[in-house]
Structures are given as C-alpha cells and as structure tokens.
Structure 1
Amino acid sequence: MVKMRKTHSQNPIFLILFLLSVLFLTATSQKNQENEEEQRILLKLKQEFGNPSALQSWNPSSNPSHCTNWSGIICNSNNSVTKISLHNMSITQIVPDFICDLKHLTEIDLSSNSIHGGFPFSVLECTNLEYLDLTMNNFVGVIPNDIDRVKKLKVLNLGGNNFSGDIPSSIGNLQFLETLSLSQNHFNGTFPVEIGKLVNLEVLEMPFNGFIPSKIPDEFSKLVKLKTLYMTDSNLFGEIPEWIGDLKDLEVLNLQTNNLSGKIPNTLFLLKKLSYVNLAENKLSGDIPEDTECLSMGGIDLSMNELTGSIPEGFGEWKNLTSLVMYRNRLSGKIPASIGLLPLLTDIRLFVNDLTGELPTELGLHSKLVYLEVNDNKLSGKLPENLCFGGEFYGISAFSNKFTGELPKSFAVCPSLTHVMLYKNMLGGEVPASFWSPVNLSYVQIHDNMFSGDLPDKLSSSLKRLEIENNRFTGRIPLDIASSAQLVVFDGSNNLFTSEIPTGLTALSLLTSLSLDGNEISGSIPSDIMSWKSLNTLTLSRNQISGEIPSKIGLLPSLTKLDLSENQISGSVPLEMGNLKLNFLNLSSNLLSGKIPSQLENLAFEDSFLNNSGLCSNVGISNLMSCNSLSSRSSRKLSPKFIVLIVIVVVVVMILLSVILVLVAIRSIHKRKEDDEEDSTTWQAIQFQRLVDFTELQILSGLIKSNLIGSGGCGEVYKANLVEGIAFSEYGRTLKVNEKVDVYSFGVVLLELVTGRKASKGDEDRSLAEWASDRSLETSLDLLLDEEVKEGWKMAEMTSVFRLGLMCTSTSPSNRPTMSEALQYLVRRSSSQEVHKKKALVAADNVAPLLLSTHLRTSNIGA
C-alpha cells in the first residue's frame, strides 16, 4: 500500500517534466525552422541583388549563423533578423517583393547604391518597419499615396533620387515620424501643409527640389520639436515668419537660395539652441537683429542679400563661432573688435560691402584662422600682424580697399599660405625674400600698390599666378623662375626691373600670359620659345630690348596679343608671324626694316607698325613707304652703273623731245601761213570733252556775274556746275588720267550713298569729294550722313563706308587703295560688326587696332 501511494505521488512531476521537454523541443524546432527560413530568404535576396561581391560573407557553408558573421545583418536576442543595412554595397537591381517576409524587420538601409525602378511598394508590407533609408539611388516615379500604411515609421530618408510629382498628403498621418528627408529629387508639385501634423518631427529636409513657388506654411509652426529645418533652393518666397522664434528646440535653419524677402525676424537670434543659420542668396533687407541669446552659434551665412546696417556687437559673444559669412550685402560701419577675440573662428568672408575702419588688431591671435576675405570694402589701416599665428592660415583676399603699411611679418614665415590677394590698396615697403618661398604659395596678386625690393632668384614651386604690376620692384627677373613650373600668369609690368629676360622663362610650358612692359629690361627676346604652346598674351613694350624678333614666335599656336612697341628691336618682321591669329599687334617705335609679311598687310594692322622708318608695304599701309620705291631708292644708292644708265636714258629722252619740239614748231609756222591764205570769215568749231548734258535752264541759270571767268572781243566765258550724276570722274575734274581714276569714281559713288548728296552737289564751289574731305575735319562723321537713312544700328557701317569713300577720293592717287583693298576693307568691316554684336563685352585692348579706331592716311579722321 505504501509503495502504491509513493508511485502515484511521483506521476505529476514526471508528467510536468515530460510536457516541458516536449514544449522545449517543439519551440526549438520551430525556432530552427524560422532561422532556416530567414537564411533562405536572405540567400534569395542576395541572388536577386545579383550576388554582389560585398555580400560574399552570406555563405552558410563558411558562416552557418547569419546573425553573427553575415555583413549588414543584425538580429535581436531571439536570433531574428531585425535590420538589413546594405549601405554602399554596389547593388543595382530592384528591391524584391519578398523582402518583408522577414517578419521581424524594423530597419532597411539601402542607401548609396544604384538601385533603379520605382518606389519599392513591397516595403509597405513590413508592418514593424521603423526606419527606411533609400537615399542616393536611382529611384523614379512618385511616392505612393498609401505611404501611411507603415504606421510605425520614425525615419523616412528618400533624398538623392529622381522622385517627382507631389509629396502625398498622407505622409502627415505618420504620427511617429521623427525624420523626413526628401532632399535632391525632382518634386515639381507642392509640399503638403499636412506635414504640420507631424508633432514628433525633429528633422525636416526638403532642399533642392523644384516645388511650385510657395510660402513657408503657418502649419509648420506646430512642429514644436523641430531641430532642423532645411529647405535650400525650394522655391520659397515671402517673409520668414515670426513664429520661427517659437521653435525653441531649433538648432539648424537653412533657407539658402530662395526668394525670401523682408527682414530677419527679431526673435531668430533669441533661440538659445540655435547653432547654424544660413539665409544666403535671398532678398532679405533691413538691419541684422541686435539681440542675441544663441550662444551656441557655430556658423552664420547671410551672404548675397540686401542687408544694411552694421554687424551686431553681440556676434562677438558667440564663443563657438567658426564661420562668419556675410559677403555681398550693403553692410556698413566697423567690424566689432570682439570678433578678433573669438577662440574658434576660422573663416571670415565679408567682401563686397561698405565696411569702414580697421580690421580687428587681434584677428588670428586667438584662433586658428584659415580664410580672411574682406575685399571690395572701404577698410583702412594696417593688416593685422598675427593672421598666420595659428599656423593654418590659407589665404587673404583684401583687394580694393585702402589698406596702408607693409605686409604682415608673419607672412614671411607662413608655410600654409597659398593665396595673397592684396591688389589695389596703398600698401608699400620692401617685400622680404622669405615671403616668396613657401612651398604652398600659389597665387600672389599684389599689383597696384607701392611694394619695392628685389625678387629672389627662386620662387615657390607651386606658384600659378604672379601679378605684381604697377609697383616699384627692382632688380632682375628671377634666374631660376623655371622652378615655378606651374606658373600660368606672370605680370610684372610697370616696375623697375632691369637686366635681360632669363632663358629659364621659356621653360614655363603652362604660361598663358607674360607681361613685362614698362620696365628697363635689355638684351634680346629669347629665341627658344617653342615651349610657350599655351601663351596667348606677350607684352614687352616700353623697355630697352634689342636684337631681332625670333622667327619661332610665329609658331606659337595660341598667341593672340603681341606688343613689342617702344624698344630697340631691329631686323625684319619674321614671315612666320603671318601665321599667327592675332587680334592685337603693336610693333611700333622700333628699328625694324624690310617688308612686312603679306598676311599682315591689311587695314586691321595699319597702326601696328608706326615709327619704323625701314619698314615697307606693297599695299599702301599708312605711314609705311612702298616697297617698290624703297627698292628703287636702295638700288640707286647701291648701283652706280644703274645711276649712269638712268642719266643716259634721261639725256636721250631730252634730245628726242627737243627734236620733236623743233619739228612741231616748224609745222606750226607752215600751218599758220596756210591759214592766212584762207578766208578769214570762216569759223572753226573747237570740240571739248562732253562730260555731262546741260539743259537750257541750267545754262541760263549759270549766266550770272559770279560765274564770269573772263571776257574778250568774241564774248564772255562763264563757268557752270555739273548736273547731278555719278559719272563725276577725276578726269572730268583735273583732265588727268591715272590708274586710280576708277577708284576715284567708286569713292564718289560711296559718298553719294551715305550722304544723300549728288556728285556735283558738294557745297559752294566744291565737289562732293572736296566737301566730304573738308567737312570731315571740322565735325563728327555722323553729322555728315544721310538723315533719312541713318539709324543707330547702321551708324558703324555707314561711317565705315564714308571713310572708304574719303580714302578712294584722296587728292593723291598713290594714297588711294586698289579696288581689291577696298573690297577687303568692306569685307573686314562687315565681319567685325558681326563680332561686335556677338561679343560686345570684349576688352578694348584685345581688339585689333582697326576695330577700335581708323586712322585715315589723308585726313587723320578720328572715330
């Protein structure tokens, strides 16, 4: 009996243990099955994504547990997959429909891949999803209207894709949403005011979209937890609402590049948590609010607005400020001295304002200053001495101010310095040699000051632009300038440099502009200049350069501007120069001789060879003698035999003429005797050349006393004005024939066309050609043109035709152009007018001399 009770009393315990074992085995079996299913889904996902190499670890053979060693997979304590993070895994395929078969999935991060297709609707089936990041892919189309099916969503990042259309209003139903980032898409509709219902929202980013122009909705004032409002380039207009000051948690406000107007709200800088403000590139006006309590401010950008007033003193209390950017406004007054005391300030950009006074003297002493840009203001005084004190100073841009004094001494020991832009100030003193040597120094633009001293033989190897013109530098051009192999622009004009051009200068293959005019440089131009393949500007005028122009200068493919004037250069103009595509050439005031290249014998370069007595041209370039006459003169000087031959020919001709005159005289005597024997009452008509037809009325109108030329026994002789017509040739005026008669007639036709006058209707006793020549010296050309034809846009063409008419009717035939030259002149003027219409902003010194003004050989007519 006792044994029976004991056995029965142990049965319940046994049953419980048995049941627990069964339950455990069942749960374990189910969990194993679930893990196997998740692994199967992941392997299928890998296959759908194209087996990218970044997912090599997804291999059950080498890594049985997908929760521990499979990259991008995170599991919970039950070994269930809760997060897939495949950021930057080079995935290109679309998101498969079965991804939400992972039942416990809460986070999906597929950012920074190249996934294409539309929005992956399959993710809407992930009922536990809290985090979805699809940024930086190639998704297209619209955001689904039922996006609110993912009710637990806290973070939605869709930036950097190609989504378009409207943002659905249903997005306002995601009541747990904390971050909404829709930046850099192609949304071209509206953003819904329903976003204002997202009371838990902390980050709202919608920059760089093409929204319909909108104001900042007042509904956004309900976003009281908002920390970041980022709506750069979102087509916003109107004013920044005053309620912005009610967003007490706001830390970042970025409304750059919109059309916002009005004043900056007075309450903005009272937000104590505010750390970054960017309102640049808007139309904001008025003064900057003075009251500030945002002591955590780290950066502020108010550039490119219409702000006035001064920089608030309170900005100097922002101990965390690293960047102060307010360029291109209308700010005035002084820069607060307290700005120079800020311990973290690295970047100051205040250029293009109306700031006055001096820079804070302690600037750079208390922080590691990197950038200082204050150009185009009215600042004065000395530059702060300690700009380089922090050891990280990168560059200064302070040009177009009124700074005085010398370069800061710290610039001479500033290895980080790369940019020095101090031109157009009143700085002076000797620049220390150590200033030029920092290895990183790339841009030195200190022209238009009063700096002095010699340049060292070796400059920084990183130098790209050296612009030191209009100073007082002396000595020679650095001998080892070839070590600055990256030099692109070297302008040292209008200084006191002496000695010769160093041959090392020709080794600078990247050089595009070399200007050394207005110095005391001597010697010759280096002949080995073939490395200047990129050179487009070479100006060496107003020096003491001698020798010849190297022929290789004509082989520089990019050269468009060449000025070697006012030197002592001799020899001929190299024929190779005719191959250059010049739009400016000046070789005036040298000792050049010989014939200029035929390609340069045109009116575009007629002012390019002045004051070179030995130069000649075969096409009548002004101020140059004809090569034929020069050759003839030279031959006579060099060949006595030729001179003797000429004398003999002249003597023979004179003898022949004497014989002819004697014969004519004898015949005349015999003729007179015969005439005396004839009837003295017989009249003989003498025919004169018929130039034009006269009407009876015109003849009678000319028989007035003022036209009386003379009288005699046979009657009176009157002069008569020619009738209107275009056949008023030079022969009819002078009774002389030469090879330029047709050119003269052509010139009369041109003058008739542009003045509206007839050939015989000049003024008083003058022909049209005489009238035009005289009047052009007395008044402006545009007053001589036909009033019925001239219009503003025709003036240049009509003036050119008028000038050509004057040249063709010059009193000296040798000064007239040939018909070929006249045609070339008209063609060049026609093409140049088209160039002027298309390139109206071309600088004057880059235009051929003819296109700036035309200097007529015969009348010295100005433009």
Structure 2
Amino acid sequence: MEKSNHVLMLILVLLVLESSSLASNFSSLSHADECSLLFQFKESMSIHKSASDDSRAYPKVRSCDRAGLEQQLSVWPISSNNSLFNLIHLRTLNLANNDFSSSQIPSGIGRLSQLINLNLSYSFFSGEVPKQISHLRNLVSLDLTENYMLTLQGSDFQNLVQNTSETLRELFLSYVNIDFVPDSLVNSSSLTSLVMRYCRLSGDFPTGIIYLQKLQILDLQGNRNLTGYIPEFHGNSGLKQLITGYTNFQGSIPASIGNLTHLNVLNLSRNAFTGTLPASVSNLTQLTHLDLSFNKLTGNLPSLQSLSNLTYLSLRGNNFDRWKLPDWLGKLNKITHLYLTDANLYGEIPSSFFNLTQVEMLDLSGNQLKGELPISLLNFQNLESFYLDGNNITVDFYLFLSLKKLENMNLNGNNISLSVIDSHTNETQPKFKYISLASCNLKVFPEFLRFQHQLEYLNLDNNNIEGLIPGWMWNISKETLIELSLAHNLLMGFEQHSPVASWVSLQNLDLSHNMLHGSIPVPPPSTIMYYVSNNNLTGVISQSICDFSSLQVLDLSFNNITGSIPPCFEKLSNTSLTVLKLKSNTLQGTIPNIFTTECKLEMIDLSENKLEGHVPRSLENCESLQLLDLGYNFLEGTFPFWLGALSELQVLILRFNKFHGIIRIPGNIKVNFPKLRIIDLSNNLFSGDLPHQYFQEWSAMKETMANTIYMQTSIEESREEYNYYISYEFSIQMTTKGVKIDYEKISKALFVVDLSGNMFRGNIPESITTLSGLQLLNLSNNELSGVIPPSMGNFICLESLDLSSNKLSGMIPQDLVQLNFLAVFNVSNNSLTGPIPHGKQFDTFSNDSYMGNQALCGFPLSKKCGDSEASKPPKVSFEEDTESDFPNGIDWVVILIGAVTGLVIGLVCGDYLSTKYYKWFSQRSRR
C-alpha cells in the first residue's frame, strides 16, 4: 500500500457472526444498518480525483457485506460522533498510512469494544491517546507506530495492559511518547511482540517481561534513558529477536544467553555492557544479525565460526584485546554487512578474509592494519561500500576499478598508489557516489575521476596536490556532485576557464588552506568565459561560484586571494548559502552592503584580511546568523548594537579592528543578543565604562550546559532513494593567556567574554557576575579601577580569569578560592594589596599571575605576610628617653663618620661617572 498525504486506504472488516443469537446480544443493528453506516462514513470523506486518475485506483463502493469495505479516500480530522464509531461489531480497524492532520484519536474509539486488531500507524495523529482505549478489552494487536506527536500516558498504558493481559499478543508503539514500561506487562501471558523504539522511555525496564514464555520479539531500541540488564536464562525460550540498541542497559552479558537458541537477531549496540563476550554465543546458530557495537567489552573475542547464518556482524567500538583477523571469519560466507571499525585490530589481512564473497558493506576503519591489499580483493564483486580509513595499508587503487558494484569508498590515511594507468573506461569503471582519499600522499588528481559522472561526494583533502586544477575536473558529475573538498593542498588556481555553474547540485565547496592567488573580479555582464592568467586566480571562480544556485557552504579561507569581495555574492546569500568563510586572505575594500531580507547565512567569517569601513547595516537582515567573525581587519565605527536584534546570533568576534566609543544600549532597542554566548571585542578603541547594561541582557550566558553539542549547520539533500546530509562544524580562534587557540569545534556549552586591550575605565560592575555560565573572562589591558568584586566567586564554571594590566586595588577576594575549575588566573600589573588567597586552584598559580603588585604577599611570592601588628610601620617616640629607638651617644659618632665618608666618595665617583656617561649620551644622541 503506497503512502500519500491526504490519502486514506481504509480497511474495515466486519465481524462474521457465528450466529444470529450472538449478534442480538451485541446490538440490534441489522446488516443493512451496518452497511448504511459504512456508506455514511465513506460519504463524510472527500475523494480527490484528477482527470488523469485511473478509476481503478478509486473503486466505487457498490455493495456491502460482512467481509468489509476497502476504499481509498482523502481524510480530514475525524471526530467521535463519526458514524464509524457506531459499528460496534467491528473486529479490525486499519487506518494506517494516512494523514489525519495532527488531530487527536477520537475518544469514540472506546465504543468499538469488540475490536481485536487496531492499526493507526503512520497516520499523523497527535495529542494524548484517549483514556477510552483501555475499554478495548479484546485487543490482540495494537499498532500506533510512528505517530511522532502522540503521547500515551503511563496510567492509561497501565490500564490498557491490565485489561488485555490475557488477549494482547502484539504491541507496536515505536516513536510514541511514553514515560515508562508498566510492571503489569509481565502478566501479559499471550504477548509475542513488544516493539517500543524511540519512545523516550526512562527508568528500569521490568526484567520479567523477557521471561514471558510466548515472547518472540523484544525491541527497545533508541530509548537512551532506559536502564536494565540481560538476566540469566535457565529454561527454554522462544525469543527470536532481542534488541536493546541505543539504550542504557549495563552489566555483563551472561553465559546463559547461549540458551536462547531460537534467536535470529541479537542487537545490544551502544549500551554500557562490560566484561567479556561469553563463548556460549557460539550456540546461537540461528543468528542472522549480531550487533555488539559501541560497548565496553574486553578480553579475547571467542570464535564465532558456528554462526554460519550470519548476514550482519558488527563488533565495532569495543575494547577487545588486540587481535588479528582470524581465519574462521572467512568461513562466515553469508555475511553481507561487516563492521569492524575501531575494534583494536592489527597486522595484515589474511587471504582467508577474501572468501567473504557476498559482502556488500565492509568497514575496517580506525584500526592498525598494515601490509598490502592483495589482488584477491577482486573476490569482493558484490562490494558496494568499503571503508579502510585510519589504517596503514598499501593499496593499488586501480584494483577497485574492477569492482563493478562499488559506490562508496573511504581510504583516508593509507598509502595509495596511482602509478598504474590501465585501459579502464567510462563503461568498465564502477559508478562511484562517495570517494574520500584524504591524507593519502597524492600528488596529482587521480585520472579515473575523468570518467565519474555520478559522484556526490569527493574529498581529496590533506594531500600534496600542487599546481593548477585541471580543466577536465569541471566536466565530472555535473548533475550529481554535492560536496567537493580540496582543502590543505598546494593548489594555485585553475588550468582553464570553468563553465558557468558546472555543478548544478553543488552544496559544499571547500578550497581552503591552499595557495590560490589573485583577485576575484566581477566579470562584465557580457563576459561568457574567463581565463586564468599568471597572476589572477579569478574570473575563473567568481562568476561560476556566484551562479551556483544550490551552494550552501563556501570556504576559500587560508589562501592568498586579493582584491575585494565581489558584489555578486549577493546572489549566494539570498538563495542558499549558509556558510561563507573567507578567513586569512588579503581581501581589501569594504564589506559590500549586499544582505537582503532573503539572507540565509548562518556563519560569516571574514577575519584576518584587510577590510575597512563600517560593518554593513544590511547584516541585520540575516535572521539565521549564528556566528559573525570580523576580527583582524581595519574596520571602524562604533559598536554595531543593531546586531542585537539577530535572535540566533551566538558568536560575535570583532577583535583587532578600529572600533571606538562607548558601548551602551540605545533607548529604542528592545532585543539585545538573546542567544549570545561568545563575544570578543579585544584590541579595539572602546572607551567608557564596561557595558554593564549588556551584562544584564545576555541571558544565554546566565545558564550552564552539561551536554557537549557543537555548533554546525546541517544540510539535507533529498534524493529519490535516500536523504543525503552534509554537516559543517563552525570554528573560531581565541586568545587565552596570550596564546591563540583554534577551536575546530565550538561547544554550545562554551561561554566567553573578552573585552581586553581597550580603554574601558571605572569599576568592574556587579552585573557581570550574573553571567554565571562564563568559562573565559578577559578584561586585561584596560584602565579599570576599584576592587575585584567578591561576587566573582559566583563564576562556578570559570576556567580562565585575566584582569592584568589595569589599575585595580584592594585585596584579592577569598571568595575566588571556590572556583574549582579555574586553570588560568592573572592579576599582574595592578595595585593589589594584602595576602594572596590560599587553597584549591590558588595553590597551583605561579609568580607570573601576581607580578607588578608591590603590596601583594604570600605564596607563591617570596614576600611573606606577617601578622597584623608586624605589618604596620614602626612608631618613633620622643617622650621616652629609655628604651628609645632614636640614636644617641656613640651611635651618633659612628653615623657621622659614615655619612662624611660616604659624601666624599659620592662626590668623587659621581663626578667621574657623570662626565663619562655625558660623553656616551652625547655620542648616542648624534647617531
């Protein structure tokens, strides 16, 4: 049955009554009455039919019998007073694969008390499942699968389970929101199938359910907060599928699991199982699918040779003892999918391994395999996807050109040989979709690419390919190429002109970290083709890039591109572009005012260029903008407060420019950076007080986040067969303790304020301490005065605090000792006094943190702190002659002799030295 929006395939099967007396017990409705109700239900639904529709697709109902009614209809939300719910003899109701417009399941469902089979799967129901569903005491099968906005309350679930404990056999609830699995389900003695994938279950799973004698399928995949364990199995069990993937089951896998001899699917992936894999797993000879990936299994891997029916095997991401590919693995000759990623493999690949002639998907990445890939690779004629990245294998690439079904391949980091040029043509080569040959020490573009016309992803990053990109590259995969990455090579430009918009589907173009040079001029409107000269990269890329209507990520950073940003980039920002990265080039001129209300940009990085002028006001149209980095340019003007209206902006970097003036919030501005987490205004000419008004407004920094989610943009390309995703992670550079640090990933739990290197004055306002989520705070190299607020002890997440080179006075607050994560602390070159706090992190800081504060004392400084009396200057008394500290008697004689002698020596030496250094100074001045 084919799914379609607003289309209903309705199957209503009426109960075939065993006798008329039984019928009279249920209802007085006649057969004709029931048929009439069915037709009323049909008429309440509108049939959408176009002129081209075949009437066979929309059969007319001409008769009604107790076998039921089948009709394809277009459905609107259905209510409880619909005639459907008067069909009290109904035994099977199937409304699957339809669109009920996110309406609720009508409470009238409870009136169909004779229902045995209820299927409402894939029907876009939402809200709460009505309590009346527990009235269906005769249910044998209930299917609510993939109604994502549907919620089944725990109490209603429990009532349903209790009322159907003797009849219920099949329960399919995947993707329905459910809090927990009720304990009473252990009493469902007839249960054969329990499928609850991705239901957001939490708490402990009732282990007794696994012991149900008739249970054959238990599938709990994707409930990350569901805990449990695998119990001991002492008797016979009919369990055929045990799936706990992506849950939080823990403990060891018991040896008694070998008693589940009927199992054909065992999926324990992405749990927290520990210990060794018991050898008794070899008893599960009916297994076709075994997935133990991403656990914490240790020890030796037992032989799985007896599992001759396996078609799917995944052992990736465990901590097995270092092991070689065993010979018995080559005997599992039914395997089609084999995942041994990050499995601690080492050594050479044995020849027996190539007996797996049925393998379609093979992943050996992330291991320590070495040696040469033999010609027996050609046995893998069914291979469609091969991942070998992260090993040290020597590969003659042209072996792969004889694997006709191969579509996806990743050989990153291996030793690839392209020395053999053979007679493979377009007709004889495999039709690749995904190729990644990064870090393979390539020096030229592989010739086989000339014949690839179905590529969707091509990655040649981190090689030594130098010179010009060959002209034939523009002709490959014109209709299909989605992502092209040539970053980190030695490319200088393009061999010849590029056709306008060569790759009509291109979404990600990364040419960063090369040696591309020249400007990006805007060709005249009449220009049809542009060529590369010795000094000019462009014309070649400017017109064609601006015409890539699907381009979403453009990264030309870390090259030698000069000139200005072409105005034609307006076309990109207004169509599909989400990431524009031109960092670290030599671009000049102003940033063009090209951003309209259609702007879709999420990241703009124009840092480390020579751009000047003001920040274009049109940027306020980019409502999706999350990151703006304009650092290390010559931009000027006052603080662009109007960027505060961008509700998604999380990172703002304006460091090392010529911005000036006081930072304040204009009276007519109501939205002020609601999601801002990182702001760097360092090394500009800002003045006045610190922006205390903004400290009160930056609400995102007042929260702490424990999860590690990274900033990125996800791009989805829909194809007929599947959805293709590109994920581009944002990156920035920041300075901590004078050291530039590249953040290749930006955690959404990172909160930073850097206002250093400006002319801010006045006190540190208390309002800054409300930013309790801060991890890095840098206020150094300003003209701040007053004391360090003790409330800075509220920065419970703070890792770096730099207040150096200001005019701060007073003592270092003892409250700062409670900053348990503080790793960098610098208050040097201020006027601080008193003892340095002692304890916790403060015992780890060096002298450099405090130098330039003459009145500080205590560890780690050599200057000791005395008691309060000893630290006071001595008193001189003229009233007491006895015990006086003032000199008298013989003391005066000694003092006078020393003074006269010193005076004579000083006059003689002073005359000599002043004469000598006067001559030296005169000579230096003439130079």
Distance 1:133 1:217 in 2: 28
Match of 1:633 in 2: none
Match of 1:247 in 2: 260
Q: 1:201 to 1:160 in 2, by over 3 A?
A: same
Q: Given that residues 832 and 853 in structure 2 are in contact (C-alpha distance below 8 angstroms), is that contact kept between their aligned partners in structure 1?
A: no
Q: Which one-letter code corresponds to 2:407 in the other structure?
A: Y
Deviation at 1:144, TM superposition (A): 2.9
| Mapped pair 1:279 → 2:292 | yes
Q: Helix, strand or coil for the counterpart of 1:307?
A: coil
| Mapped pair 1:505 → 2:514 | no
Match of 1:806 in 2: none
Distance 1:782 1:525 in 2: 42
| Mapped pair 1:517 → 2:564 | no
Q: Helix, strand or coil for the counterpart of 2:186?
A: helix
Q: Given that residues 289 and 312 in structure 1 are in contact (C-alpha distance below 8 angstroms), is that contact kept between their aligned partners in structure 2?
A: no
Q: Helix, strand or coil for the counterpart of 1:483?
A: coil
Q: Which one-letter code corresponds to 2:277 in the other structure?
A: I
Q: 1:82 to 1:364 in 2, by over 3 A?
A: farther
Match of 1:324 in 2: 338
Distance 2:21 2:227 in 1: 60
Distance 1:232 1:247 in 2: 18
**Aligned match for 2:97, one of 88, 91, 96:** 88
Distance 1:783 1:597 in 2: 30
Distance 2:845 2:35 in 1: 75
**Aligned match for 1:425, one of 440, 451, 464:** 440
Q: Helix, strand or coil for the counterpart of 1:184?
A: coil
Match of 2:237 in 1: 224
Q: 1:267 to 1:197 in 2, by over 3 A?
A: closer
Q: Given that residues 412 and 434 in structure 1 are in contact (C-alpha distance below 8 angstroms), is that contact kept between their aligned partners in structure 2?
A: no
Residues 23-78 of structure 1: CA distance to partner in whole angstroms, max 9, x if unpaired? xxx97899899895467568768989995558999999843325254459xxxxxx
Q: Helix, strand or coil for the counterpart of 2:409?
A: strand
Q: Given that residues 196 and 222 in structure 1 are in contact (C-alpha distance below 8 angstroms), is that contact kept between their aligned partners in structure 2?
A: no
| Mapped pair 1:561 → 2:606 | yes
Residues 439-469 of structure 1: CA distance to partner in whole angstroms, max 9, x if unpaired? 4343332432357775125244325333153
Q: Which one-letter code corresponds to 2:92 in the other structure?
A: K
Q: Which one-letter code corresponds to 2:509 in the other structure?
A: V
Distance 1:43 1:187 in 2: 43
Q: Helix, strand or coil for the counterpart of 1:96?
A: helix
Deviation at 1:202, TM superposition (A): 1.5
Q: 1:54 to 1:271 in 2, by over 3 A?
A: farther
Match of 1:64 in 2: 64
**Aligned match for 1:538, one of 559, 582, 592:** 582
Deviation at 1:148, TM superposition (A): 6.2
Provide structure 1 residue ranges, at least 5 long, that are not aligned to the other structure. Answer: 1-25, 73-79, 543-548, 566-572, 587-595, 607-619, 622-745, 759-779, 803-863
**Aligned match for 1:167, one of 156, 173, 182:** 182
Distance 2:128 2:300 in 1: 49
Q: 1:331 to 1:27 in 2, by over 3 A?
A: closer
Residues 639-673 of structure 1: CA distance to partner in whole angstroms, max 9, x if unpaired? xxxxxxxxxxxxxxxxxxxxxxxxxxxxxxxxxxx
Distance 2:655 2:262 in 1: 73
Match of 2:119 in 1: 109
Q: 1:178 to 1:250 in 2, by over 3 A?
A: same
Matches within 5 A, 1:823-838: none
Q: Which one-letter code corresponds to 2:559 in the other structure?
A: D
Residues 760-817 of structure 1: CA distance to partner in whole angstroms, max 9, x if unpaired? xxxxxxxxxxxxxxxxxxxx99799989669788999989999xxxxxxxxxxxxxxx
Deviation at 1:394, TM superposition (A): 2.9
Q: 1:472 to 1:157 in 2, by over 3 A?
A: closer
Distance 2:827 2:465 in 1: 44
Match of 2:511 in 1: 490
Q: 1:107 to 1:337 in 2, by over 3 A?
A: same
Matches within 5 A, 1:417-496: 417-429=432-444, 431-432=446-447, 434-435=449-450, 438-449=453-464, 455-456=470-471, 458-460=474-476, 461=478, 462-471=481-490, 476=495, 478-480=497-499, 482-484=501-503, 486=506, 487-491=508-512, 493-494=514-515
In proportion to residue count, which structure has more strand? 2
Deviation at 1:259, TM superposition (A): 1.2
Distance 1:55 1:472 in 2: 58
Match of 1:604 in 2: 656
Q: Given that residues 340 and 360 in structure 1 are in contact (C-alpha distance below 8 angstroms), is that contact kept between their aligned partners in structure 2?
A: no
Q: Helix, strand or coil for the counterpart of 1:63?
A: coil
Higher mean alpha-carbon deviation, 245-254 vs 29-38, is at 29-38
| Mapped pair 1:184 → 2:198 | yes
Distance 1:82 1:515 in 2: 66
Deviation at 1:360, TM superposition (A): 5.0
Match of 2:347 in 1: 333
Matches within 5 A, 1:694-705: none
Q: 1:185 to 1:264 in 2, by over 3 A?
A: same
Q: Which one-letter code corresponds to 2:239 in the other structure?
A: L
Match of 1:299 in 2: 312
| Mapped pair 1:312 → 2:326 | yes
TM-score by length of 1: 0.56
Q: Which one-letter code corresponds to 2:398 in the other structure?
A: E
Q: CA RMSD in A?
A: 5.3
Q: Given that residues 97 and 121 in structure 2 are in contact (C-alpha distance below 8 angstroms), is that contact kept between their aligned partners in structure 1?
A: yes
Q: 1:51 to 1:308 in 2, by over 3 A?
A: farther
Q: Which one-letter code corresponds to 1:160 in the other structure?
A: Y
Q: Which one-letter code corresponds to 2:372 in the other structure?
A: E
Q: 1:384 to 1:109 in 2, by over 3 A?
A: same
Deviation at 1:250, TM superposition (A): 0.7
**Aligned match for 1:350, one of 359, 364, 389:** 364
Q: Given that residues 60 and 66 in structure 1 are in contact (C-alpha distance below 8 angstroms), is that contact kept between their aligned partners in structure 2?
A: no
Distance 1:348 1:410 in 2: 27
Q: Given that residues 397 and 416 in structure 2 are in contact (C-alpha distance below 8 angstroms), is that contact kept between their aligned partners in structure 1?
A: no
Match of 2:80 in 1: none
Higher mean alpha-carbon deviation, 485-494 vs 220-229, is at 485-494
Matches within 5 A, 1:605-624: none
Q: 1:336 to 1:324 in 2, by over 3 A?
A: farther
Q: 1:70 to 1:604 in 2, by over 3 A?
A: closer
Q: Helix, strand or coil for the counterpart of 2:298?
A: strand
Q: Helix, strand or coil for the counterpart of 1:172?
A: helix
Deviation at 1:237, TM superposition (A): 0.6
User: How many residues end up aligned between the 2 structures?
Assistant: 581
Distance 1:480 1:516 in 2: 25
Q: Given that residues 527 and 550 in structure 1 are in contact (C-alpha distance below 8 angstroms), is that contact kept between their aligned partners in structure 2?
A: no
Deviation at 1:481, TM superposition (A): 6.5
Distance 2:244 2:490 in 1: 48
In proportion to residue count, which structure has more helix? 1
Distance 2:557 2:238 in 1: 62
Match of 1:199 in 2: 213
Distance 2:33 2:189 in 1: 34
Q: Given that residues 202 and 227 in structure 2 are in contact (C-alpha distance below 8 angstroms), is that contact kept between their aligned partners in structure 1?
A: no
Q: Given that residues 479 and 502 in structure 1 are in contact (C-alpha distance below 8 angstroms), is that contact kept between their aligned partners in structure 2?
A: no
Match of 1:144 in 2: 158
Distance 2:535 2:805 in 1: 55
Deviation at 1:299, TM superposition (A): 1.1
Q: 1:148 to 1:248 in 2, by over 3 A?
A: farther
Q: Given that residues 339 and 360 in structure 1 are in contact (C-alpha distance below 8 angstroms), is that contact kept between their aligned partners in structure 2?
A: no
Q: 1:303 to 1:578 in 2, by over 3 A?
A: same
TM-score by length of 2: 0.52
Distance 2:213 2:635 in 1: 82
Q: Given that residues 292 and 314 in structure 1 are in contact (C-alpha distance below 8 angstroms), is that contact kept between their aligned partners in structure 2?
A: yes
- Structure with greater Cα Rg: 1
Residues 215-250 of structure 1: CA distance to partner in whole angstroms, max 9, x if unpaired? 2222x5545211100122332110111111121111
Q: 1:793 to 1:159 in 2, by over 3 A?
A: same
Q: Which one-letter code corresponds to 1:455 in the other structure?
A: P
Q: Given that residues 230 and 254 in structure 2 are in contact (C-alpha distance below 8 angstroms), is that contact kept between their aligned partners in structure 1?
A: yes
Q: Which one-letter code corresponds to 2:433 in the other structure?
A: T
Higher mean alpha-carbon deviation, 228-237 vs 495-504, is at 495-504
Distance 1:540 1:210 in 2: 42
Match of 1:394 in 2: 407
Q: 1:130 to 1:800 in 2, by over 3 A?
A: farther
Deviation at 1:317, TM superposition (A): 2.1
Distance 2:255 2:94 in 1: 41
